[in-house]
Amino acid sequence: MAQDISKKALALHKELGGKVRMEPAMKVRTRDELSLIYTPGVAAVSTFVAKNPRLARDYTMKGKMVAVISDGSAVLGLGNIGPLGALPVMEGKCALFKSFGNVDAFPIVLDTQDPKEIIETIIRIAPGFGGINLEDFAAPNCFEIEDALKAKLDIPVMHDDQHGTAIAVLAALMNAAKVVNKKFSSLSVVVSGAGAAGTAISKLLVQAGIEDIVVLDSKGIINLVRKNLTPHKKELAKMTNRRGLHGGLEEALADADVLIGVSGPGLLGAKQIKLMAQKAIVFAMANPVPEIMPEEAAKGGAMVIGTGRSDYPNQINNSLVFPGVFRGALDNRVTKITDKMKLQAAKNLAALVPNPTALKIVPGPFEKGIAEAVAKAIK
Amino acid sequence: MAQDISKKALALHKELGGKVRMEPAMKVRTRDELSLIYTPGVAAVSTFVAKNPRLARDYTMKGKMVAVISDGSAVLGLGNIGPLGALPVMEGKCALFKSFGNVDAFPIVLDTQDPKEIIETIIRIAPGFGGINLEDFAAPNCFEIEDALKAKLDIPVMHDDQHGTAIAVLAALMNAAKVVNKKFSSLSVVVSGAGAAGTAISKLLVQAGIEDIVVLDSKGIINLVRKNLTPHKKELAKMTNRRGLHGGLEEALADADVLIGVSGPGLLGAKQIKLMAQKAIVFAMANPVPEIMPEEAAKGGAMVIGTGRSDYPNQINNSLVFPGVFRGALDNRVTKITDKMKLQAAKNLAALVPNPTALKIVPGPFEKGIAEAVAKAIK
């Protein structure tokens, strides 16, 4: 099955010869059109835009074009496979941007993995774009890169592996709490993985009012006692783990209501799920192979189970989020994606499933109105 | 008239909201398509391309996408109006790439005019592209930038203001020589302007076998006696002006067969044209206002007159050239555009007008087969 998809995907990509095309808004067919689209007419537009830079969004692609940028340092679950390896994913993402959100997006892959070089390069190519979607940058560089770009650019910048994922998880968790009939803010949550996604999820859950969050990296529970924590993990240590736990996954899972896996394949089995509280919620989001397969999680007693996969119920994927976020940001000329917007986006996304069940806590990717609902939050 | 075009162009650009769109090669409409275009299927493509970088052209946009890049330092005849001012021109250029050559091209404008920064930025964003079209970079930086990128990248790099223009001029001059019945290599040529276009035209004419070329900049005839010449002008001084002329435009024009103006508006009148040899050829290419208006050049006795304008006969414009150059480069996976290719491209372009007349030395921009003819030379 998986091999079959791989074969088919390779054949399709070769047939298509890449997944993005540039199409002019108007083909040039006559001398009159040529004189308006290009010289001499374009000179008036260039002069006008140079004098009125704020109106560039009305007269150029800056009003609609998002750059989807990667350095290939953390591509899907494949790791650091470099810019060319990242390119098919970025092209696919651009195809989803247009298909789901009618957003024009263009892939750019970088021949550097140095944060300083990445930051200065993106700033230098930014003038023509209306937004920057960072993608598949590894932690911890991704934090530094996103922070610097947000501070220096006047267009929205979002590292989707962080915030797209966090918004989707928050929406799913809001509905899952309803299904298991537990109070959202009282949920005890374990986040396995302190990379880009785990960090952003943890922070957004704190913003959303959840007080009991325990985060683990490959060395175990993150707490203030641990030495040599990187800056972003130190920040996590300060804002999570109020019970001061230490140890590993089993210690963290004892009586927990929620496990959010954003780490790696096959991390745990039914035995560990049994340590959790009754009516446990398990989001096992490593892709394509989750931390625990849904069948196994159910065996352990989990009541609501989500993954990143399209072949199981409850696909919690950032493709529910990023097209709407940038649709809204472009339409409303938003310059920063704030925490408030992210929380509202999650609420709007959750509200698309008014009567959630164990098998349906988020809308399917092809349901109507998803991007529109998310876009309404970004203003 | 000109004001009317400006007004219309502004209105059209606002209506369109920019001139380029990203279209996916395949819209994503079903779960199966999603699993091939994006995860999990795309993982196989990413893995394959990362392991076989040379095959990236078959599986990604690298096989078809050209970056059209500018720093806005020399936009049309408008001067240094910066990246946002350059953007409408770059978008227009991309529209022509697709309309004339079926080439996918994407505009990128740079927030830096430092050659070192420009070079490193373009190298860093190059992996996803199959070619780089540099546009509206001012001399002399344009020479350093193009040379460095050619040396460091394994995809074709062309500064179109130089080489696109030079190829179009050479083609036009080949046919003009037939019209005036003079031997091409014996033509005595004056090039007014030693910027990007003037330099490239002079060099290509030397390659094409013309021995008597005199180049002028704003200070007069370029010769080896002049002090403080920039490196590219010193190079021009060495390869041109075999008769050792000095002085200004009138000294240069005495008995010359050809005047190629790539300098600025209204440089000369009929009186100066009368200094030239019988059956003079005048290409007055400053845009939109040429060095001399065609009516005035005719009054001075010029027999063949070309401009960059679409409202006079003999529009000598690089739009005849760049779509075909990159079409050929992509189709034949050429890594460098060589002088030999440029000479052949000019020959192929000239051959599209088998029986040239004073009013027709180059094909009109909308004639069929132009890009194809040029593309055949790039292999």
Length of chain B, in residues: 379
CB contact (8 A) between residue A10 and residue B48: yes
For A271, other C-beta atoms within 10 Å of its C-beta total: 11
Share of chain A above pLDDT 70, in %: 100
Nearest-Cα residue of chain A relative to residue B73: A50
**A324 with A102: CB under 8 angstroms?**
no
Contacts of B100 in chain A (CB under 8 A): 28
| B127/A50 CB distance under 8 A | no
Q: Which residues of A are catalytic?
A: 38, 93
Phi, psi of B271 (to 5 degrees): -55, -45
User: Tokens 């005890």, residue?
Assistant: A188
Question: CA of B120: which chain A residue's CA is closest?
Answer: A121
- Average pLDDT of chain A to the nearest whole number: 96
A17 contacts B25? CB cut-off 8 A: yes
Kindly tell me if the per-residue pLDDT of A340 is higher than 70. yes
pLDDT digits (tens, 9 = 90+) for A251-274: 999 999 999 999 989 899 999 999
Residue B63, φ and ψ in degrees, nearest 5? -75, -10
pLDDT score for B1: 53
Residue B310 has a pLDDT of 83
Task: Considering only the beta carbons, identify the residue of A45, A110, A123 that sits closest to B125.
Answer: A110
Of A67, A134, A154, which Cα lies nearest the Cα of A107?
Answer: A67
Average pLDDT over residues A155-171: 98
Tokens of B115: 């050659």
How wide is the angle at C-alpha A286 spanned by C-alphas A283 and A288, nearest 5°?
120
Q: Which of B39, B89, B317 to mutate to test the interface with A (most CBs of A within 10 A)?
A: B39
Active site residues of B: 38, 93
Q: What single letter denotes the amino acid at residue A224?
A: L
CA distance B181 to chain A (A): 31
Instruction: Give me the pLDDT at residue B309, please.
Output: 86
State yes or no: cis peptide before A24, omega within 30 of 0.
Answer: no
Rounded to 5°, the CA angle B242-B245-B246 comes to 145
Q: Which structure tokens are listed for B135?
A: 């546009």
Residues of chain A contacting B16 with CB distance shorter than 8 Å: 25-26
Q: Please answer yes or no on whether B14 and A41 come within 8 Å at the CB atom.
A: no
Spell out which residues of chain A touch residue B28, defining contact as CB-CB under 8 Å: 95-96, 99-100
B277: DSSP letter: P
- How far B218 CA lies from chain A's nearest CA (Å)? 24
Among B15, B73, B80, B91, the strongest candidate for a mutation testing the A interface, having the largest count of A CBs within 10 A, is B91
Q: How far is CA A314 from CA A89, A354, A374, in A?
A: 22, 15, 18
Nearest to B21 by CA among A37, A22, A107, A330: A22
Which among A26, A89, A112 is the nearest to B19, CB-wise? Answer: A26
The tokens describing B152, both together, are 């460091």
Q: Tokens in use for B171? A: 């083609």
Strands of the sheet with A280-284, listed across from one edge: A220-221, A212-217, A188-192, A258-261, A280-284, A302-307
Token pair for residue B316? 């000598």
Q: Could you say which DSSP state residue B93 is in?
A: H
Distance from the Cα of A270 to chain B's closest Cα (Å) equals 25
**Cross-chain residue pair A35–B109, CB shorter than 8 Å:** no
B40, B83, B110: residue with CB nearest A5: B40
Tokens representing A251 are 């210690």
**A309: pLDDT strictly greater than 90:** no
Contact B68, B110 (CB under 8 A): no
Please give the average per-residue pLDDT across A68-84, as a whole number: 95
Q: Write out chain B residues lying below 8 Å of A97, CB-based.
A: 22
What number is the average pLDDT over the span A1-22? 92
Task: Show the low-confidence residues of chain B (pLDDT under 70).
Answer: 1
Summarize the confidence of residues A171-195 as an average pLDDT.
98
pLDDT value, residue A227 = 93
The alpha carbon of residue B58 and the mean position of all alpha carbons in its chain are separated, in whole angstroms, by: 28
Q: Do B21 and A23 touch (CB under 8 A)?
A: yes
Q: What value of ipTM does the predicted structure carry? A: 0.96
CB contact under 8 A, A109 and B127: yes
Cα B80 to Cα B72: distance, rounded to the nearest angstrom = 6
* Residues in B touching A365 (Cβ below 8 Å): 31, 34
Q: Give the C-alpha separation, B302 to B294, whole Å.
A: 9
Do B36 and A365 count as a contact with CB atoms less than 8 A apart? no
The tokens for B113 are 């005019």
Is there a contact between B274 and B301 (Cβ–Cβ < 8 Å)?
Answer: yes
Q: Look at B59 and A10 and tell me if their CB atoms are within 8 Å.
A: yes
| B63, B125, B288 ranked by CB distance to A18: nearest | B63
Spacing of C-alpha B86 from chain mean position = 16
Please report the number of interchain residue pairs, chain A to chain B, with beta-carbon separation below 8 angstroms: 378
A87 alpha carbon, distance to own chain's centre: 17
CB–CB contact A366 B60 (8 Å):
no
Q: How far is B67 from chain A (nearest CA, A)?
A: 10
| Residues of A whose CB is below 8 A from B309 | 40
